[in-house]
Every structure is written in structure tokens, then in C-alpha cells.
Copies of this chain bind each other. A is one copy, B any other.
Amino acid sequence: MQAEAIFTGTELLLGQIINTNAAFLSQELAKAGISIFRQVVVGDNLERIKEAIQEAGKRADLIIVCGGLGPTEDDLTREALAGALGLPLEENPSAREHIIRFFSLRDRPMPPQNLKQALFPRGAIPLDNPLGTAPGIFLEHNGKLYACLPGPPSEFRVMLTEKLLPLLQQYSTSKEIIFSRVLKITGLGESAVEEKIQDLLKGTNPTLATLASPGEIHLRITAKAKDTEAALDLIKPLEKEIRQRLKEHIFGSDGDTLEGVVGNLLTLKGLTLAVAESCTGGLLAHRLTNIPGSSAYFHQGIVAYNNKVKLQLLGVTTEILASRGAVSEEVALAMARGVRGLAGTDIGIGITGIAGPGGGTPAKPVGLVYLAIDYQGTTQVRRELFQGLREEIKWRATQSALDMLWRLLKG
């Protein structure tokens, strides 16, 4: 099956948002063995959207339109699809139900124009939207498949993977799929990783590519084969080789996150955790609590932004603050011990540093961060000097803390 995608939104053409849906769509279609040959971006203009749909319909078997399903004036995808195919728009009772329920559940009055979202080209099937009022549209017309999905990334992703792709299974005839396995690496830089796998980057099937993201390196192994199983057979030997070379730095694969992997290890070992953050300002607790079920092992976070907090709650002494300063190995250690004692957990983590842009000195520049872990009384501390903007330094500091914790837990 050959697909083309149309993304609507003047904000895309003005460059005010980046089209992340395009990359996600392509990845998911590839996994499903659906080739996508063209992506088009057009503004919120009825004629241009219609024209784009008609053109795509001449070439592709599957035409996916992303965005323009909202209730507002410049949400025109419904009208454009109906117009492009010469079909009337008709109200769908169950979709109308869904919209009315959405508002009543929230004790909010429903603006009348929201009912526009219950209109569908004749013959179309509504795709329920679990996250919003805009249902998707699925339509088979003259041997072509047309699908419209809402533009907000969270809605687009869940509706693509949970509603549209399952529906497409029964239509797909593809004999070859593209499958990728991503290995995720922490605690090594991109060039250090590449040095170890240089010779493996030349392959064609599977291919190997390195992708750097802040504090992590991802290695993507991609294979073409008749099905996932066959693709995995191509991927496994290369994966095995890479795992041998980078063993102690690979924390997970594919959808894994460092906070998720750490969470699994804490659950497995029945250990509990508390954190005391200064420069990271709650980001470490936020990342840990993004994991469903984290309340089982994560008990408490203290954001000790003011030194008073370090003294009152965490047992940091005025002597240490005076002699070593708030950004020091000693304070990081005291915070780790302090929060562990306060929360009565197995593990305590302390982070103190200078996120900037202000507050740096020649001796203690912006980006200097001390991280400490107290694991049942045994402590370790790490000193880091990060580059970048405030938020990047916060992120890299939490990444380093999770890296320390991961290495500790995997033993």
C-alpha cells in the first residue's frame, strides 16, 4: 500500500511550529509496511487542502490528512475532504453523542460550533478520539482509503496507533516491512560511541545509525524484510555485536527511558527512593514520577531552592555552607543523606549546582553540578561541568543522576 500525507496548518507554513507529526507518522507507517512517498504541507485554506487531497488521490492508495478537525473557523479538513470527493457532509449521531458527553463530563457548557465536529462526508466512519472532542475520519471511496486525524500531537499519536493502523491491517497487501531496533546508551559521548562501532556503520541491511540526544546516544538498527520476525533475524547478530562492545553503557532499547529502567530496577529490588534537588528544581522528581506506578518506590522529593530548606529539612550545617558553599561535594552528600533520613527510604539523591545564566564564578562556573547518592548508608558523589542553557543544564544534571542510580542498581 502506498500512502501520501497532507498536513494542514498555517502555523506550519509560517514555521511557528515544527511538524513532529510527520516523523511519527512515517515511523509508524514504516513499521506497518506502508510506504509513504510524499508529504505535503498546506495552510488552512479550503481550496488548497481540496487540491492537495485530489492530487494525492491520483497517486496513492491511502491519503492521510493531519489537522484541521477542530471546531474553529480555520478547521477545514472535513469540508475539504467532502468537497474533494464530491460527497455531502452529514451529522453522525454517535459522534454528536461523544462530543456532548465530553463537555457534560467536565461540567462545561458546549459551544455550539463544537457540533461541527460531528459532521462527516457520506459513507465515512468516525474514529473515536479518547483525548479530545475531534473524532477522526475514515473513508473508503473509489478504491482509495482516506483518513483524517487531529493535529495535536498527543491526539494524533494515540489515534494513529490505536485507531487507524489497526483498521488498515485488513487493507494492507505489502510484502516487505521496515523494522528498527533502537539501543539506548548513557554515560558515553557520541564520538566515543562511534569509535567503538565505526566498522559496523557501513552495513546496508540492516543499517546502523547513531542519533545523539541530550545526555543519551541512540543506535538505530534498521532492517527490511518480509515480516518483523525476519527483520529481527537480520537485526539480532548486529545487536549482539553492539551489546558486546557497549555492554556497560546500554540501559535499554526502543521505547525505554532511563527513568523507566531505573523504576523497574527499584521495583525488582523492592527499594525506595527520595530526592533532594537544588539546581534541577524538581525536574528529577518530575521525570521519576512520569513513570506509571512510580508511587510504589518514589516516596518524596524536596526542592531545596532556598538554603534555609537545606538547613531545616536536610540537615545541611551552616558550617558546611559557610566553608564549602552551597554548590559543593559536601552539600550534595548532606542533601542525599538528609532526604534519605527524612523520608526513611533505602536511597537518597542530592543535587546541587549552578544552572545559570547568573550565579557563576571563576571557581564555580555555570554548569557546575555535584550529585550524590546515599544507598543504605553507602555514599558516592559525582562532579559534572555541563555546557548549555539553563534548561539543558537542568536536564543533563537529572540525566547524570539517573545514570548514577542506574549503574548502582544494576550492580
Contacts and interface: CB of A to CB of B under 8 A. Distances in A.
Contact of A299 (B72, B108, B282, B309): B309
A154 interface: yes
Nearest to A295: B305
Interface in A29-45: 30, 36-45
A304 to B, nearest CB: 7
A305 B299 contact: yes
B11 A15 contact: no
Contacts of A305: 285, 289, 294-295, 298-301
Quickly give the copy total for this chain. Answer: 2
Contacts of A268: none
A38 B211 CA distance: 26
Nearest to A273: B305
B303 A282 contact: yes
Q: How large is the interface on A (under 10, 10 to 19, 20 to 34, 35 or more residues)?
A: 35 or more
A95 to B, nearest CB: 16
B389 A210 contact: no
Contacts of A284: 282
Given A23-B15, A282-B282, A290 B42 contact: no
Contacts of A288: 281-282
Contacts of A285: 281-282, 285-286, 303, 305
A390 interface: yes
B41 A13 contact: no
A108 B189 contact: yes
Contacts of A282: 277, 282-286, 288-289, 301, 303
Interface string A197-212: 0100100000001111
Contacts of A281: 285-286, 288-290, 294, 298, 301
